C-alpha cells in the first residue's frame, strides 16, 4: 500500500506571496492532519480534516487554511507569506481520525525569501 505523498517536496517563495501544498493520504484513510516543523518551535499542529470537514485547528493565524476533497486528498494554503513561515510542512493520515495511529508523509520544505 502506498504511503502518504506530499507535493511539491521543495518550494521557494517570496514574502507576500501565497502557496498551496498538497497531501494524498494512504488509500482508505479519511483523516488528514497538517503540522509545521521549525528548528525553534519543533512540531506544531495546524489542523485536521475528516470527511471534508475541519475538525480541529491549532493556534495559527487565519493566513493558514486548508481543505479536503471527496477523495480525502487535502490541500493547505498559506497567504501573505512571512519569513517565519519557512518550515517543513508535514501531513499525516489515519484511518478514522486523530485517535488512531498517524502516518506521516515526507513533508514539503518551504523557504520564504
Partner 1 sequence: KQEVTQIPAALSVPEGENLVLNCSFTDSAIYNLQWFRQDPGKGLTSLLLIQSSQREQTSGRLNASLDKSSGRSTLYIAASQPGDSATYLCAVREGGGADGLTFGKGTHLIIQP
Nearer to partner 1, 72 or 94 (CB): 94
45 binds partner 1 (CB under 8 A): yes
Q: Does 68 bind partner 1 (CB under 8 A)?
A: no
**Is residue 85 a contact point for partner 1 (CB under 8 A)?**
no
Distance, CA of 3 to CA of 5 (rounded, Å) = 6
Q: Give the interface with partner 1 as residue ranges (CB under 8 A).
A: 4, 6, 33, 35, 42-48, 55-56, 58, 90, 92, 97-99, 101-107, 109
Amino acid at each position: 500500500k502506498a504511503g502518504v505523498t506530499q507535493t511539491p517536496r521543495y518550494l521557494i517563495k517570496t514574502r507576500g506571496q501565497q502557496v498551496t501544498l498538497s497531501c494524498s493520504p494512504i488509500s482508505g484513510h479519511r483523516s488528514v492532519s497538517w503540522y509545521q516543523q521549525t528548528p525553534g518551535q519543533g512540531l506544531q499542529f495546524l489542523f485536521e480534516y475528516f470527511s471534508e470537514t475541519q475538525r480541529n485547528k491549532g493556534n495559527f493565524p487565519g493566513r493558514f487554511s486548508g481543505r479536503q476533497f471527496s477523495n480525502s486528498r487535502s490541500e493547505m494554503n498559506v497567504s501573505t507569506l512571512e519569513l517565519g513561515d519557512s518550515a517543513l510542512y508535514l501531513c499525516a493520515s489515519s484511518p478514522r481520525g486523530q485517535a488512531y495511529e498517524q502516518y506521516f508523509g515526507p513533508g514539503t520544505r518551504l523557504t520564504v525569501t
